[in-house]
Amino acid sequence: GESVGLHLPTLSVQEGDNSIINCAYSNSASDYFIWYKQESGKGPQFIIDIRSNMDKRQGQRVTVLLNKTVKHLSLQIAATQPGDSAVYFCAERNEGAQKLVFGQGTRLTINP
Amino acid sequence: DGGITQSPKYLFRKEGQNVTLSCEQNLNHDAMYWYRQDPGQGLRLIYYSQIVNDFQKGDIAEGYSVSREKKESFPLTVTSAQKNPTAFYLCASRRQGPYGYTFGSGTRLTVV
């Protein structure tokens, strides 16, 4: 079946460095992608989203890149802070579908 | 402020008991979802509902039941048939179209 997967289950970066979290998807019909951040014991929080007619979208310290040719999604976090430590999930929506397909998640650890 | 509320935050269940987890939203979202999350794992879909009085099974519906009598409410019952119910349960809602979920803060269920 269709799935959204992450290349790396864990990622450690030094505080202040930039981090990149990757995500592969397999459904070329997906028209919407979203990144969530989940801190321990809490529900996932929206970070940033992107529609399939875009290649890049920027938020505050975060950028999402979409490469439809290779079905790849990435989340870039600039100047990481201790508060960025969390699990990050990507998700896709197949056009017309009523639910999102989630990736497994990447645990990001920021080292002081 | 609009949002989605799950209660209780912590719930303990004895063997053989049914328990009901509450999920309420005031976002006027049509769709609502229940996910289960085990430690260090991703999100697995239990049930979802697109409209009142209608719902569909997700990937792991066995041992669970839901109702959708009101647009705002989507309670989940964990029945005694669910043999391994200890987990973190997340409720989410979404409006129609290419949009993401809004998640609740979760309920941690423990069997004692």
| B15 min Cα distance to partner chain A (Å) | 24
Q: What is the mean pLDDT of residues B7-31?
A: 94
Taking only the tens place, the pLDDT of each residue in A31-65 is 999 999 999 999 999 999 999 999 999 999 999 99
Q: Choose among A63, A66, A65, A59: nearest CA to A28.
A: A66
Chain B interface, Cβ < 8 Å to A: 6, 31, 33, 41-43, 45, 48, 50, 58, 88, 90, 92, 94, 98-106, 108
**pLDDT tens string B46-100:** 999 999 999 999 999 999 999 999 999 999 999 999 989 999 999 999 988 888 8
Chain B residues in contact with A88 by the CB 8 A cut-off are: none
User: For testing the chain B interface, which of A10, A100, A101 should be mutated: the one with the most B CBs within 10 Å?
Assistant: A100
Inter-chain CB proximity B102 and A46 less than 8 Å: yes
Instruction: Return the structure tokens found at B91.
Output: 């409720």
- C-alpha B43/C-alpha A82 separation (Å) is 24
Distance of CA B88 to the CA centre of its chain: 10
- Cβ of A42 within 8 Å of Cβ of B50? The answer is no
Spatial contact of B12 and B60, defined as CB atoms under 8 Å apart: no
CA angle (B100, B5, A37) in 5-degree steps: 45
* pLDDT at residue B109 in the model: 96
The two tokens of residue A97 are 């579908």
Query: In whole angstroms, what separates CA A5 from the centre of its chain?
Result: 10
Distance CA B24, CA B10 (A): 16
pLDDT at A6: 41
